[in-house]
Amino acid sequence: MARARLAPRPFSWLLAFYATLAGCATAARHSPTVPPPQDVPMRLLAIPVSAAENRPVSFTNKRSAYYYTQTHRNDNPEHAWFRGLNIAGRRVFNDYQVLVGGAPLDPAGARVLVRPDALIRTYLQGVTETLRLFDDRDVVEVAITGSRGPVQLRLSGDQLRPAAAGDDVAWYASSSDADAGVADTVAVGRSGDRFFIVVAASRQAALSLLREAAAHAREWESERRARLEGLLTGEHYLWTDDPALTEALRWITLTTDELVTRQRGDGIYAGLPWFNEYWGRDSFISLAGATLVTGHFEQARAILVSFASFQDLDPGSPFYGRLPNIVKPGSIDYHTTDGTPRWVIALREYVRYSGDRSIIRELYPNVVASIQGSFAHWTDSAGYLVHADNETWMDARRESDHAAYSPRGNRANDIQALWYEQLRVGAEFAATVGDTAAAGRWTAAADRLRQRFARDFLDAATGRIADRLEADGAPDFTLRPNLLFALDLVQDRQAAARATRTAWEALVYPWGVATLDQAHPFFHPYHLAWEHYHKDEAYHNGTVWPWLNGIAMQRMIEDGQTELAWRLFQEMNELALRRGVVGGLTETMDAYPHPGESRPRLTGAFLQAWSNAEHLRVWYQYFLGVRPDMLSGRVILAPRLPAGLHLVEFSARIGAGSIHAAFDTVAGGRRYVYRLAGQPATLTLDIAPFAIRDFAASAGDVLVAEIRPDGLHARLESGSGVTRDSVVLPVSAERRARQAALDTILAGTRFAQPGQAESHPVMKQVYRRDR
pLDDT, tens digit, for every residue of 423-451?
999 999 999 999 999 999 999 999 999 99
d(CA 215, CA 196): 12
Length of the chain in residues, anyone?
Answer: 771
Percent above pLDDT 90 for the chain: 91
| Per-residue model confidence as pLDDT tens digits over 486-514 | 999 999 999 999 999 999 999 999 999 99
26: burial class by Cβ within 10 Å (0-12, 13-18, 19+)? exposed
DSSP of 109-153: G-EEEEETTEEEEE-TTS-EEEEEE-TTS-EEEEEEES-SS-EEE
Model confidence band, residue 182 (pLDDT cutoffs 50, 70, 90): confident
pLDDT (mean) for 634-645: 98
E strand segments, 437-563 = 468-469, 475-476, 508-509, 512-513
Model confidence band, residue 28 (pLDDT cutoffs 50, 70, 90): very low
Model confidence band, residue 18 (pLDDT cutoffs 50, 70, 90): low
Question: Which alpha helices (H) appear in 231-357, and where do they start and end?
Answer: 243-257, 280-287, 297-308, 339-354
pLDDT (mean) for 606-623: 98
* pLDDT number for residue 206: 97
d(CA 215, CA 194): 11
* pLDDT number for residue 132: 98
Classify residue 42 by its DSSP letter: G
Do 687 and 669 form a contact (C-beta atoms < 8 A)? Answer: no
User: Is residue 6 classed as helix, strand or coil in its secondary structure?
Assistant: coil
Q: How far is CA 700 from CA 17, 67, 326, 424, 766, in A?
A: 12, 44, 44, 34, 67
User: Is residue 649 classed as helix, strand or coil in its secondary structure?
Assistant: strand
* pLDDT number for residue 16: 62
pLDDT (mean) for 92-102: 97
| Per-residue model confidence as pLDDT tens digits over 659-709 | 999 999 988 799 999 999 999 999 999 999 999 999 999 999 999 999 999
Half-sphere exposure of 219 (CA within 13 A, CB side): 6
For 606, residues 6+ apart whose C-beta sits below 8 A from its C-beta are 56, 58, 68, 76, 79, 271, 272, 273, 580, 581, 584, 586, 587
* pLDDT number for residue 771: 53
> Above 60 in pLDDT, residue 738?
yes
Helix/strand/coil percentages in the chain, nearest 5: 35, 25, 40
CA 729 to chain centre: 36
Cis peptide before 77 (omega within 30 of 0): no
Percent above pLDDT 70 for the chain: 94
Q: Measured over all CA atoms, what is the biggest interatomic distance in the chain, rounded to whole angstroms?
A: 82
Torsion 315-321-322-323 (CA) sign = positive
Q: How far is CA 655 from CA 70, 349, 675, in A?
A: 40, 12, 14
Do 176 and 88 form a contact (C-beta atoms < 8 A)? Answer: no
Model confidence band, residue 74 (pLDDT cutoffs 50, 70, 90): very high
* pLDDT number for residue 40: 85
pLDDT (mean) for 742-752: 98
Model confidence band, residue 20 (pLDDT cutoffs 50, 70, 90): very low
Model confidence band, residue 235 (pLDDT cutoffs 50, 70, 90): confident
> Above 60 in pLDDT, residue 5?
no
The answer to whether the predicted template modeling score (pTM) of the entire model surpasses 0.85 is yes
19-33, 84-98, 571-585: lowest mean pLDDT where?
19-33
Torsion 573-574-580-583 (CA) sign = positive
* pLDDT number for residue 176: 74
* pLDDT number for residue 279: 97
E strand segments, 157-206 = 160-166, 169-175, 183-191, 194-200
177-191, 212-226, 417-431, 710-724: lowest mean pLDDT where?
177-191
d(CA 157, CA 93): 5
**Residue 419 host element (H or E):** helix 413-433
* pLDDT number for residue 15: 58
Q: Which of 115, 92, 309 is CA-nearest to residue 186?
A: 92
d(CA 540, CA 412): 14
Model confidence band, residue 165 (pLDDT cutoffs 50, 70, 90): confident
* pLDDT number for residue 577: 98
d(CA 429, CA 144): 56
> Above 90 in pLDDT, residue 222?
yes
* Mean pLDDT of the residues in the chain: 94
d(CA 301, CA 570): 31
Do 320 and 372 form a contact (C-beta atoms < 8 A)? Answer: yes
Query: Terminus-to-terminus CA distance in the chain, angstroms?
Result: 44
